[in-house]
Amino acid sequence: MLGDGKNTFFWFERWFEDVPFCRQFARLFDLATNKLSTVAHICALGCEEGGEAWSWRRRLWVWEDEMIEGCRRLLDGVIEQSDISDRWQCDSDIPGGYTVRGASQVLTTPISSTVDAMGDLVSHKQVPLKVSIFAWRLLKDRLPTKINLQWRGFLCVEVRH
Look at residue 2 in the predicted model and tell me its pLDDT.
67
Query: Which pLDDT tens digit goes with each residue over 49-61?
Result: 777 888 899 998 9
Domain that holds residue 132: 91-151
Whether pLDDT at 139 is above 80: no
Say if CB 37 and CB 2 are below 8 A apart.
Answer: no
| pLDDT confidence tier of residue 157, bands split at 50, 70 and 90 | low
Residue 77 and residue 3 in one domain: yes
pLDDT single digits (tens) 4-15: 777 888 888 887
**CA-to-CA dists, residue 142 to 25, 27, 109, 128, 152, angstroms:** 34, 36, 16, 19, 10
Mean pLDDT score, 32-58: 85
Has residue 116 been placed in a domain? yes
Give the number of domains in the chain: 2
Residue 156 lies in a domain: no
pLDDT of 52-109, one tens digit each? 888 899 998 998 889 988 888 888 776 666 767 766 555 554 555 666 676 677 666 6
Residue 158, in any domain of the structure = no
| Rounded distance between C-alpha atoms, residue 122 and residue 133, angstroms | 8
Q: Are residues 2 and 65 in the same domain?
A: yes
Residue 123: band (very low, low, confident or very high) from pLDDT cuts 50, 70, 90? low
Q: What is the mean pLDDT of residues 30-36?
A: 89
Average pLDDT, the chain: 75
Helix (H, G, I), strand (E, B) or coil at 38: strand
* pTM exceeds 0.75, yes or no: no
Instruction: Please give the pLDDT value at position 131.
Output: 79
Same domain, 143 and 115: yes
